[in-house]
Amino acid sequence: MKLDCVMAGALYLSLVLFWAAQTLLAASFKALQCERPVHTEESSCPMEDDLTDPREAGFQIKGYTFSEPFHLIVSYDWLILQGPAKPVFEGDPLVLRCQAWQDWPLTQVTFYRDGSALGPPGPNREFSIAVVQEADSGHYHCSGIFQSPGPGSPETASAVAVTVQELFPAPVLRAVPSAEPQAGGSVTLSCQTKLPLQRSSARLLFSFYKDGRTVRSRGPSSEFQIPAASEDHSGSYWCEATTEDNQVWKQSPQLEIRVQGPLASAAPPTSNPAPQKSAAPGAAPVEPPGPLPPPPTPSSEDPGFSSPLGMPDPHLYHQMGLLLKYMQDVRVLLGHLVVELRELSGHKKPGTTKATAE
């Protein structure tokens, strides 16, 4: 009889536990909330086919997207530091609370980051940063003294790690089709960056600059187009991406744009004469269309020698100078020859007289 009662009790307990497990499982699925309205007839969660980021796959089960999970930590201690349950990004506010057991009163509350006090002790149990940056990451903890009915001694909470994530990387400016376009062609400058999945709904504004001046003020478009590039568009460009509240802004590295001019065609040969020189200061003016009088030549024997068009020719002057030098050399040689001939004639005259007398 007792054995039958034990078996019946065990069976009843098993049925109760099975029913409780089903109830908890159903309640867990009902607690899941979707991020967007209903899009399918079979479920209250939309299907997302374009999720490719590995971090996004954790929130997708059989084509359904669920809300982002968070971690819940229950501590049993006199003093704990309560931090944010969700990821913290650049530009977010950060609030830390030094929580006492059963909310007992505290005095001399001090907050620390990486072991360094963030301020003097005081009654405030909260520490806040209006706009966090990546440099605010670290291990935070707090300490305080319990008042009645607490232990009345200083207590220190365990450290909590706070990681401030980058909201978006510094943008990169790219030129399409090229950073060295031909004159007259179009160029599109694209300011490229990306928001994380958790903040994909955030909105960024973009502005463009050239050589220290604004070429396009802030706007939602991440592209700036130059319809017809010219040499005036050459210069150093960069862009800036910022949040709508202007709490986070980042600049891109500079990009050099060099617009190439049209290819120069070979010029046909010209028959222009050599460059003209001004006439001598003392020369009398000549009525047009006659040529101006040439400057004096190096030789006084041919003062009016000029090019066929009546204009002085420097190359011709040089050739004429060489010719004059050769003529002077020939003149010297002729002089020596005349002297030698005279000497020879003087030696032959006595012999010639003597022969005539005989």
Q: How confident is the model at residue 297 (pLDDT cuts 50, 70, 90)?
A: very low
Would you state the pLDDT for residue 142? 95
Closest listed residue to residue 95, CA positions, set 135, 140, 156: 140
Q: For the residues 10-16, what does the mean pLDDT come to?
A: 53
> Rounded distance, CA 250 to CA 192, Å?
12
One fold for both 79-165 and 172-257? yes
Q: Give the residue with greater pLDDT, 33 vs 226.
A: 226
Q: For the residues 13-32, what does the mean pLDDT come to?
A: 49
What is the Rg, in whole angstroms, of the alpha carbon atoms belonging to the chain? 51
In this structure, whether the domain defined by 79-165 belongs to CATH 2.60.40.10 is answered with yes
- What is the overall mean pLDDT for the chain? 74
Is the pLDDT at 9 greater than 90? The verdict is no
Is the pLDDT at 4 greater than 80? The verdict is no
pTM above 0.85, yes or no: no
Would you state the pLDDT for residue 159? 93
Q: For the residues 93-106, what does the mean pLDDT come to?
A: 90
Q: How confident is the model at residue 55 (pLDDT cuts 50, 70, 90)?
A: very low
Lowest mean pLDDT among 12-21, 71-80, 254-263, 273-282: 273-282
Q: Give the residue with greater pLDDT, 146 vs 94.
A: 94
Is the pLDDT at 333 greater than 60? The verdict is yes
Would you state the pLDDT for residue 132? 94
Q: Would you kindly state where each structural domain of the chain is located, as residue ranges?
A: 79-165, 172-257
Taking only the tens place, the pLDDT of each residue in 59-70 is 556 677 767 666
Taking only the tens place, the pLDDT of each residue in 235-248 is 999 999 999 999 99
CATH of domain 172-257: 2.60.40.10
Taking only the tens place, the pLDDT of each residue in 189-202 is 999 999 999 898 89
Taking only the tens place, the pLDDT of each residue in 135-185 is 999 999 999 998 876 666 788 999 999 999 999 999 999 999 999 999 999
